[in-house]
Amino acid sequence: MLLCAVCIYCNGQEINLGEKPGNGIIEDGGRGLEEAVSAYLETNLLTISLTSVSSLQVVVVDKQTEMTVYSNTWNTTSGQVIDLSALPANEYELSIYAFGKWWWGEFVLEEE
């Protein structure tokens, strides 16, 4: 898997965020260093930040059941804050589509 320098910080634990492997998506063009995605999980709030305005799609999948538990799309944004407090403690896969490609990472929600 190709990893980049952008990371997800999850309850103080750094998790690499990279291109989603085998996504089959044709990119809209080259990605420059200025086109980066970052995400931060604090308690149950997932904050996604983009370095510039882009369309954004966020999908969260429960790794145990392989079911999509959250999905939303925004036409133009530079970031979003998503409340995941309705989700149970578990491991999740995060997929983010921005700048013409998919970004991928994993995180764990823990009981408070």
> pTM of the prediction?
0.77
At 73, the amino acid letter reads T
pLDDT at position 31 over 60: no
Q: β-pairing, 45-62 with 101-109?
A: unpaired
pLDDT, tens only, 60-108: 999 999 999 999 999 999 999 999 999 999 999 999 999 988 888 888 8
| Confidence (pLDDT) at 88 | 94
Q: β-pairing, 90-98 with 37-42?
A: unpaired
Residue 85 is classified by DSSP as: T
What is d(CA 69, CA 77) in angstroms, rounded to the nearest whole number?
A: 22
Sign of CA dihedral 46, 51, 52, 57: negative
| Confidence (pLDDT) at 77 | 93
Tokens representing 107 are 């995180």
Q: Tokens 């997929």 belong to which residue?
A: 95
Nearest of 72, 66, 57, 63 to residue 106 by alpha carbon: 63
Beta strand segments in the chain, E: 3-10, 13-19, 37-42, 45-62, 67-83, 90-98, 101-109
